[in-house]
Amino acid sequence: MADDKLDAVIVGGGLAGLAAAYCLGEAGRQVLLLERGDEPGSKNVTGGRIYLSPIRPLLPGFFDDAPFERHVVKEALTMVDGRNTTLLSHVQDRWRHPPYMSYTVLRARFDQWFSTRAMEKGAFIVPRRRVDDLLWEDGRVAGVHAGGEEIPAHMVLAADGALSFMAEKAHLRQPLVPSRHAVAVKEVYGLDPGAIEERFGLDPGEGAAHLFMGSVTKGRFGGGFLYTNKESLSLGLVLGMDDLMRGSEEFDVLKQGSEQFDVPSLMEDFESLPEIGRYIKGADLKEYSAHIITEAGAGGLSRLFTDGMLVAGDAAGFALNMGVTVRGMEFAVASGVIAARVIDEALTKNDFSAQFLSLYEKRLRESFVMKDMETFRHTAEVLANPRLFTVYPACISSLLEAVFTIGEDPRKGLYRSAMDATKKHVGVWNAFKDFLSLRKI
């Protein structure tokens, strides 16, 4: 084996790549991370909120001085049926006390902090350097091509995000499959911390995570999100790529097909909801971004290793959208840490074969990463039911209207109102089928 090889090259300075760089630096390995953006975090978009409980044990004490925004104490879900809304809100007292379960984050700030920690451990991080291709030696991955240079390395970690061209070039995943991805748009609004706390009913430093489903996506797979940061709000929409690309005629049956359906107009309609308007009133729009999200769960994972290379984070497909929770960041950190540990062992044993590197998949299977991906394997399929985004919000809205309205006529009983709303909007047979499908998740 040539001596001029680096121990490892990491492609991508998102959370998966940075976590791996940090751990390999700490292990005293020669590690180079190449990031195409101006700096780590500059190209990264998230809702978002990071769940810390699963990853704290992997990096004890590491997150104590991380620049998080707010710890989340309030979860809310609003079902939208035109201008009618049904809000479910939950505050759990335990979430108000450290160690906090989850925090909102702004990736530009968080990833830069992470990158500084990795460099302090000896990782070499080079921004504005796009990796163009893999370097091959005797049929195995042996480094990368970047900026016209060949960079030989014993190990390559592909941590290049949801579109991972590196995993594709190594024949570990297919080119983009629309049904496995969603398109997201996000806006950040600057707002005074006091106004945030007053509008969301929070104590100083506390945060809220608010998701929206129903007619915000006009019958298509997806939903809206609103997160509170220290001095800003993150507002956005996620839309299934398959539905975005499909013709509208499939939705005629749901009486949604004739409505205007492009991402900017959906975002405008979303912002114009009174429920959103009251939160962003007087706030300054500071940023607008768009990104791809991986959503397929265990069924959409790439192969995770080949001779000389591993795949981590979104590049591998480690993300779960469960409608009420969106998870990707903690999977990225955990898979980056686990990949680094396996690379460290491979370097010690001087064995970079696929056979040895299968240890990575084994370790992931023992961790929460693959366990959760397997448990929620069928979530995407269950959530792909268009009724969830159309007739159910309408059904709940008309049931609650019947419950809370006292008019001139005598009232119907609650059971009769529920049956009438179900028959009118969903159909009893559809409701029964949909109820049974919930057993899969």
Can you give the binding site for ligand FAD, defined by CB under 6 A? 11-17, 34-37, 43-50, 130-131, 159-161, 165, 184, 186, 236, 291, 293, 313-315, 319, 326-330, 332
Q: What number of other Cβ atoms are within 10 A of residue 249's Cβ? A: 8
Between residues 15 and 170, which has the closer beta carbon with respect to ligand FAD? Answer: 15
How far apart are the C-alpha atoms of 15 and 118, rounded to whole Å?
11
Between residues 14 and 143, which has the closer beta carbon with respect to ligand FAD? Answer: 14
Q: What number of other Cβ atoms are within 10 A of residue 147's Cβ? A: 12
How far apart are the C-alpha atoms of 61 and 112, rounded to whole Å?
18
The values of phi and psi at residue 144, to 5°, are: -140, 165
Between residues 16 and 172, which has the closer beta carbon with respect to ligand FAD? Answer: 16
Between residues 69 and 81, which has the closer beta carbon with respect to ligand FAD? Answer: 69
Between residues 114 and 261, which has the closer beta carbon with respect to ligand FAD? Answer: 114
How far apart are the C-alpha atoms of 172 and 99, rounded to whole Å?
38
Between residues 106 and 315, which has the closer beta carbon with respect to ligand FAD? Answer: 315
In the chain, the amino acid numbered 96 is R
For residue 325, which of 232, 225, 237, 233 has the smallest C-alpha distance? 225
- Beta carbon of residue 12, minimum distance to ligand FAD (angstroms, whole number): 3
Between residues 32 and 431, which has the closer beta carbon with respect to ligand FAD? Answer: 32
How far apart are the C-alpha atoms of 240 and 244, rounded to whole Å?
6
Query: Which residue is listed with tokens 């780590």?
Result: 40
- Beta carbon of residue 130, minimum distance to ligand FAD (angstroms, whole number): 4
How far apart are the C-alpha atoms of 77 and 75, rounded to whole Å?
7
- Beta carbon of residue 149, minimum distance to ligand FAD (angstroms, whole number): 13
How far apart are the C-alpha atoms of 16 and 329, rounded to whole Å?
8
- Beta carbon of residue 342, minimum distance to ligand FAD (angstroms, whole number): 17
- Beta carbon of residue 44, minimum distance to ligand FAD (angstroms, whole number): 4
- Beta carbon of residue 43, minimum distance to ligand FAD (angstroms, whole number): 4
User: What is the Cα gyration radius of the chain?
Assistant: 23
Q: DSSP label at 128?
A: S
Find how far residue 379's CA is from the centre of its chain. 14
Between residues 15 and 244, which has the closer beta carbon with respect to ligand FAD? Answer: 15
Find how far residue 110's CA is from the centre of its chain. 15
Helices (H), 105-249: 107-120, 165-169, 193-200, 241-245
- First-residue to last-residue Cα distance in the chain: 48
How far apart are the C-alpha atoms of 100 and 337, rounded to whole Å?
21
Find how far residue 12's CA is from the centre of its chain. 17
How far apart are the C-alpha atoms of 136 and 307, rounded to whole Å?
10
How far apart are the C-alpha atoms of 151 and 370, rounded to whole Å?
32
- Beta carbon of residue 221, minimum distance to ligand FAD (angstroms, whole number): 15
Between residues 191 and 334, which has the closer beta carbon with respect to ligand FAD? Answer: 334
- Beta carbon of residue 265, minimum distance to ligand FAD (angstroms, whole number): 18
- Beta carbon of residue 344, minimum distance to ligand FAD (angstroms, whole number): 19
Pair type for strands 222-228 and 206-214: antiparallel
- Beta carbon of residue 390, minimum distance to ligand FAD (angstroms, whole number): 23
Between residues 81 and 372, which has the closer beta carbon with respect to ligand FAD? Answer: 372
